[in-house]
């Protein structure tokens, strides 16, 4: 039966929630979804959008994630300390090779790159092993030495002389030091 039918008003008022009786008044029809009809309390609907605080929090989260991603990305040119460490490892491998093969080995350094030679048949022969091939310094790296410097490791691994090789890239600096004992150290 319709609500407005005579005789039904008292029955409808008795079954309606207390809030409907107090706010709707006698014979009033409540809006769909309202508290008066037994629905959820009115709050923010999907049509109202986001608050300014919610938008600012989202922007902050995106900014923090972007910052973390940028800081985690490696420099495309690499770091000068990484290049110095790579060079030092190759020098150590050449020194170890001199001891293992019982043949003197040398490392030569120029402003453009470096390489390794082995004493064979009374002359220096370029090493063709992959880690000991001739290598160029990375782009942007400068080395402040003379034209060409050579350090020779004898069959016991001792160097004929100590040498410090400073590597520079932009404002960063690293130094590879070859000691008289053949020890190789990177400072940077």
- One DSSP character per residue, 132-158 reads GS-EEPPTT-EE-S-S-EEEEE-TTS-
93-134 pLDDT, tens digit each = 999 999 999 999 999 999 999 999 999 889 999 988 888 899
Q: Which residue has the tokens 């090779």?
A: 97
Average pLDDT, integer, range 36-61: 75
For the ranges 23-32, 45-54, 63-72, the maximum mean pLDDT occurs at 63-72
Q: Which residues pair with 109 in a beta bridge?
A: 114, 149
Q: Are strands 142-143 and 149-153 parallel, antiparallel or unpaired?
A: unpaired
User: What value does the CA radius of gyration of the chain take, rounded to a whole number of Å?
Assistant: 40
164 and 144 in contact (C-beta within 8 Å)?
A: no
For 86-101, what is each residue's pLDDT tens digit?
999 999 999 999 999 9
Residue 125, helix vs strand vs coil: strand
């Amino acid at each position: 039966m319709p609500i407005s039918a005579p005789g039904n008003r008292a029955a409808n008022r008795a079954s309606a929630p207390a809030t409907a009786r107090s706010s709707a008044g006698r014979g009033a029809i409540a809006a769909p979804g309202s508290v008066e009809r037994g629905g959820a309390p009115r709050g923010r609907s999907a049509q109202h959008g986001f608050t300014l605080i919610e938008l600012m929090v989202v922007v902050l989260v995106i900014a923090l994630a972007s910052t973390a991603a940028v800081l985690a990305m490696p420099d495309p040119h690499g770091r000068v300390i990484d290049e110095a460490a790579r060079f030092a490892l190759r020098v150590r491998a050449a020194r170890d090779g001199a001891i293992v093969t019982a043949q003197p080995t040398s490392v030569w350094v120029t402003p453009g790159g470096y390489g390794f030679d082995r004493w064979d048949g009374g002359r220096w022969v370029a090493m063709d092993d992959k880690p000991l091939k001739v290598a160029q310094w990375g782009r942007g790296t400068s080395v402040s030495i003379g034209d060409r410097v050579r350090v020779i490791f004898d069959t016991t691994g001792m160097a004929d002389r100590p040498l410090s090789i400073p590597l520079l890239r932009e404002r960063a600096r690293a130094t590879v030091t070859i000691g008289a004992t053949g020890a190789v150290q990177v400072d940077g």
